[in-house]
Amino acid sequence: MIEAELSRSVARWCKGATGVTGAAKLSGGASQETWRFDVVHPDGPIGAILRRSPKGYGAAPTRAAGLAAEAQLMQLAYEAGVPSPRVMHVLTPDEGLGTGFIMQRVEGETIARKILRDDEFAAARPRLARQIGGVLAALHKLPLGKLPELRSRSATEEIGEFERDYRSLNWPKPVFELALRWLRDHDPGPSAERTLVHGDFRNGNLIIDADGICAVLDWELAHLGDPMEDLGWVCVNSWRFGEIDKPVGGFGTREELFAGYEAAGRKCDPSRVKFWEVMGTLRWGIMCGGMMQRFREGPDHSMERAMIGRRASETEIDLLRLLAPRGS
């Protein structure tokens, strides 16, 4: 059924297009869906992706930038040479597809464990930590004046927000309390520089092929803040997928990440990066608690969501390894 609406849509903005085929839902949260499809065109099929909030869904959660901002950011990134899918069309209300946008489909792999283990990526892997540094530097250089309206958060405000989220779970966790104290004691204060922050830049949200990074996905948590936040988040142990001695997504060292970042003309602050890594580890732990709560209260009563609740303890051991390491 969605193919009929997509066919009418592409006929309006893609010259020569005669329809669409192969529409399939890739993922669907409570308020957002991702679909893949091919535009039928005399020159050959064009791979495309639809990201949308279906009709009738309310506003996005408060932390999300919103689909319109996401489309604008991806387009800006694409134009600035940051690996990103090209936005082909922003949906209009009369198309009956809800709100969202259509982008070019980028071929490659996003499943972190495959990227870390399959032979196909063996040559790319040792280069990825440095490459991630370069891509983040380019992203942080996007001119503020061109960005859509985004929320802005200092480290201090973020700590407060996570503490509220954690307390609302009524889930007493001494290790999380210890992490909150550590964050307050090590709050680096306002960043000298405020830039675009991707907000969820990690292994799993990157399309990678045999040559390296092809595209950065999932811009929905983009905001303005301390650029070191992105460098800390990409190092969180949860995104190393078992390769725990390679902090940058399981690919390589912090030194390689910093070298790639600085080679692109930007400065790193390793102590701020460490602060954001601790913050990110706690953030994922609290998100696991949020999954547990949503499982309990519905509407998503799935086994998968239930089991994510039982992954909070992974972040507790990682917080202890960061804050109270035992002798080797």
* Contact footprint for another protein (CB under 8 A): 172-178, 180-181, 237, 240, 242-244, 303-304, 306-307, 310-311, 313-314, 316-318, 320-321, 323-324, 326-328
For the bound state, the minimum distance from the C-beta of residue 278 to another protein, rounded and expressed in Å, comes to 14
Rank residues 223 and 240 by Cβ distance to another protein and give the closer one.
240
Rank residues 3 and 314 by Cβ distance to another protein and give the closer one.
314
The DSSP H or E segment spanning 184 is helix 174-185
Q: Round to whole Å and give the CA distance between 244 and 256.
A: 16
For the bound state, the minimum distance from the C-beta of residue 2 to another protein, rounded and expressed in Å, comes to 19
For the bound state, the minimum distance from the C-beta of residue 183 to another protein, rounded and expressed in Å, comes to 12
Rank residues 62 and 328 by Cβ distance to another protein and give the closer one.
328
Q: For 164, what's the count of Cα atoms within 13 Å in the CB-facing half-sphere?
A: 6
Q: What would the 3-class secondary structure string for 62-93 be?
A: CCCCCHHHHHHHHHHHHHCCCCCCCEEEECCH
Locate 176 and state its tokens.
């999380």
Could you tell me which residues come within 8 angstroms of residue 2 by beta carbon, excluding any fewer than 6 positions away? 23, 35, 97
For the bound state, the minimum distance from the C-beta of residue 220 to another protein, rounded and expressed in Å, comes to 24
Q: 3-state DSSP call for residue 170?
A: coil
Whether 133 contacts 119, CB under 8 Å: no
For the bound state, the minimum distance from the C-beta of residue 313 to another protein, rounded and expressed in Å, comes to 4
For the bound state, the minimum distance from the C-beta of residue 176 to another protein, rounded and expressed in Å, comes to 8
Closest CA to 191 of 284, 283, 267, 263: 267
Whether 239 contacts 250, CB under 8 Å: yes
Rank residues 199 and 249 by Cβ distance to another protein and give the closer one.
249
For the bound state, the minimum distance from the C-beta of residue 281 to another protein, rounded and expressed in Å, comes to 11
Rank residues 81 and 174 by Cβ distance to another protein and give the closer one.
174
Q: How many CB atoms neighbour CB 86 within 10 A?
A: 12
Q: How many CB atoms neighbour CB 217 within 10 A?
A: 21
Rank residues 130 and 202 by Cβ distance to another protein and give the closer one.
202
Q: Round to whole Å and give the CA distance between 223 and 231.
A: 15
Rank residues 181 and 267 by Cβ distance to another protein and give the closer one.
181
Q: 3-state DSSP call for residue 232?
A: helix
